A and B are shown apart, each in its own frame.
Chain A
Amino acid sequence: MAIQVERKSARRAIWIGRLTVFWALAVFGKLVYLQVVMHDEYVVIARNQHERTVPVRATRGEIVDRTGHPLALSIRTQSAVINPRRVVDTKFFAGSVAPVLGIPAPEIEAGIEERKLRPAGAPGRSYMVLKRHVSDEEALRLKRQPFPYIEIVHDSRREYPNATLASHVLGSLNREGNGNAGIEQKLNADLKGTPGTMRVLTDSLQERYISWIEKPATEGANLTLTLDSAIQYEAERALAEGVEAAAAKKATVLVMRPEDGAVLALANYPTFDPSEVIPEEPGARKAALHRRLNIAVQEPCEPGSVMKMITVTMGLDTGEYSGNSLINCENGRFPRPGRKPITDLRQGYGTIPLPMVLIKSSNIGVAKVAIDLGPRTLWEYLMKFGMGRKTGIELPGETAGILRRLECQGPNDHWCWGPNSHEYISFGHEIAATAVQLARATAVVANGGYLVEPHLVARKQRPRADGTMEDLPVVREKPKRAIGGDTSIQLRKIMQRVVLEGTGKRAKVAGWSTGGKTGSAEMFVPGQGWVNRHNSSFIGFAPVANPKVVVVVTLNDTPRQGGAAAAPVFAKVASAALRILQVPMDAPETSVPETPEQVIASGPEKVEVLPPDPVTAAEPETPALPSSPLLAGPRAPDFRGLPLVAVLRRSSALGVEVEVVGSGRAQRQNPPPGSVMPAGGRVRVEFAKP
């Protein structure tokens, strides 16, 4: 009995042992199958679960002005997107999501339904942006919604913190984040950078715990522009005021440093907000695109009389003419057999020296210089001044202007100079130039005779991964000599006289000497012919001895001519630029416009000595002592007894500001004569009729 029990137990134990061995073998076999046979497949599955490749975004580069003030920078944001085809109950979805996003539900509903109806393969059928740049709170609330197909994706927003300032220089971005105007478009590749890739390992909660760069991203380059935001602001304001005063339709102003062609300000009117999205509706779209037109580089116009600067320069630089050369201006009408006569618009001049031809803006005078030197010489000088060629400024869509070939390539070639083209080109007809071309040409005169390359980018830097900056090369041509230095100085003096005694008197700037040239080209409207509207312009520089700024102003479609419309804008812009650049003054700061009274009063003064004022006589004039030596200003001059014009002239000569009360002759003044004035103080002069 006991033996039987033992055998049974042993048999059972053997079976359990066998089963255990089989089970172990099965486990081992499965392990071998999983670990060896299916190794590669499961490795791939595991990697897909825990290891992912994610893109490393390249941040678009910043744009700052020459002082480091940000003009454009990018901020990373997130946007909410869906696949509209996965939305089952559109009404319910829209009603749930609308309060979170602050968008009307019908708008969301209509958008989804419209996309659902799009034909297969049509763009946007499976993708709809619910809202761009959602806040963290909005994103969190969206994630809590019972719609798993709402995705929060990375996005980026371009900020233009100065609103419309320098919008034509900066440009804007399209929906895809690529530049569609301005520097944003021209240097898109530099600014955008190249995205990279990164491998990340994630845990069971899909939170990454290890990442390594697979392909490094190339960050967008930061651009430091030559623009000065303060000068730019002043230029835009002066231009808007000038446009309003002159009833112009379009306008542009450009401020350039003559020695190297650095553009300090470039403004157009009308302007636009870079943040605004170009609308889809055709009419609004056309208007938006019109505002984005960069007139300074994309729209050439006939320069008119400003071209005379080049013709006179040609005469002097070739040595054929000097400052004393006399030119017969035919009393305002220069008839040629078989040709239309050339006339001077304002008044006729007889024989005048070459400088007066420019000062008085005589068409006949410059035409005679061009006729004398011939078309080839004029062509060569136009080339030397960069006419008919793109300047290479870092802005898109730059035009080369209009300058036809000197010689025709065949009998049917009409894009060439005619027999008398050089006569008309000499005073700015049959030729078209952009504002930036005119600025470059003016800079030749202002900088001693070198043709410079106008540019906006002062520096390019690319951020490295370690936080340092890598300087990128900015390739620029060296200035080329175009005219002699002596010619440049001669021209500057002549152009200063244009401002002092010629057509550009309104371009005077208090505190600095200026030189320039006005220009007016009558507009030809197809169907209407020549209309009494002009493209008015002014090119100039300041100070004359060593110009620090070149300013070009062009107002299109205005009834006023350059001297009346563009010169005042020049004065405002040049004054602001010189003040901001802290250029030392070289002229009296308190310049008073010449008036007929002043002209009369400029004769020998007969000052009637009045009896001393009882009030002032009673009070002994004790010169007030300044509280600090640093507060010492000039001593107050004695204006008593002088007429108004004499007071103004004297105060102007002394640089003392006066406050005028009443009319007649000066009776009393405060502070009294001889007292030390506080620096920057003014003298109150009370006038009374004797």
Chain B
Amino acid sequence: MATFGGLMEWLGAAKAPARREKSDFRLRALPREDILLYVKDIDNTGVERVADTRETLASVGMAGGVIAASVLVIALMLPGTYSLVVSHRIESLKQEREQLVNTLRSVRADRARLESPAQVEHWAGREFVAPAANAVLYAAPGGETVAKLSGGE
């Protein structure tokens, strides 16, 4: 890794070793390349990190500020958003209520149809069975009774 030419040579060595032997296309060494392409290893083991409190505080403050601002914005938007969601819900409930009221009307119509006098008589005529005499309880005559049969002959 000493020179750029060496690098190129290393790169090209693996790909075309045969051609390298036939023709010399290597770049010539650049003037002062050993200086320009010198890489000096830096040893930071001796460096001591000094805590910069101001910068840290500033960074944390910045982050905190951004978060606080975000929370504030979200908090400000939250009631509006919530009311929007609730409004949607209320509207859907209103429509559902209308549908249920309509269904109720429809059910009432069906019920009235089944309870109509003609229908009741139709079913009474088909399904009614006269109960046995001893299965019928007769209440004692009330105050409004204007005539009653005597108990004996």
Residue numbers of A with Cβ under 8 A of B are 69-71, 73-76, 159, 161-163, 165, 200, 203, 207-211, 229-230, 232-234, 584-586, 588, 627-628, 630-635, 637-638, 654-656, 673-674, 678-681
Contact = CB atoms under 8 A, between A and B. Distances in A.
A584 B112 contact: no
B128 interface: no
* Chain A to chain B: the 6 pairs with minimum beta-carbon distance, closest first: A233-B117, A161-B112, A678-B133, A161-B113, A70-B112, A159-B109
B36 interface: no
B133 A162 contact: no
Contact of B146 (A208, A230, A586, A635): A586
Nearest to A673: B153
B149 to A, nearest CB: 5
A650 to B, nearest CB: 10
B151 A632 contact: yes
Contacts of B146: 584-586
B134 interface: yes
Interface of B: 84, 87-88, 91, 94, 98, 102, 105-106, 108-110, 112-113, 115-118, 121, 133-134, 136-140, 144-147, 149-153
A493 to B, nearest CB: 18
Given A74-B105, A75-B102, A627 B145 contact: no
A73 B117 contact: no
A290 to B, nearest CB: 23
Contacts, number: 106
Contact of B116 (A75, A162, A627, A633): A162
Nearest to A208: B91
A632 B141 CA distance: 12
Contacts of B98: 76
13 contacts: A69-B116, A75-B106, A159-B109, A210-B87, A211-B94, A229-B117, A230-B117, A585-B147, A631-B134, A631-B136, A633-B138, A679-B133, A680-B133
Contacts of B137: 628, 630-631
Contacts of A585: 146-147
Contacts of B121: 233
A614 to B, nearest CB: 24
Contacts of A673: 153
A191 to B, nearest CB: 15
Contact of B109 (A70, A211, A628, A656): A70
Nearest to A158: B109
A507 B51 CA distance: 119
Nearest to B85: A209
Nearest to A70: B112
B117 A634 contact: no
A630 B108 contact: no
B137 to A, nearest CB: 5
Nearest to A583: B144
A318 B136 CA distance: 54
Given A586-B147, A627-B134, A162 B113 contact: yes
Contacts of B139: 630
Given A585-B147, A630-B138, A680-B133, A207 B88 contact: yes
Given A69-B112, A70-B112, A75-B102, A165 B150 contact: no
A73 B103 CA distance: 12
Given A73-B109, A630-B140, 16 more contacts: A73-B105, A73-B112, A75-B106, A162-B116, A163-B116, A203-B88, A210-B91, A234-B117, A584-B144, A585-B147, A586-B147, A632-B151, A633-B149, A634-B149, A634-B150, A635-B151
**Interface hub of B84, B109, B136, B144 (most chain A Cβ within 10 A):** B109
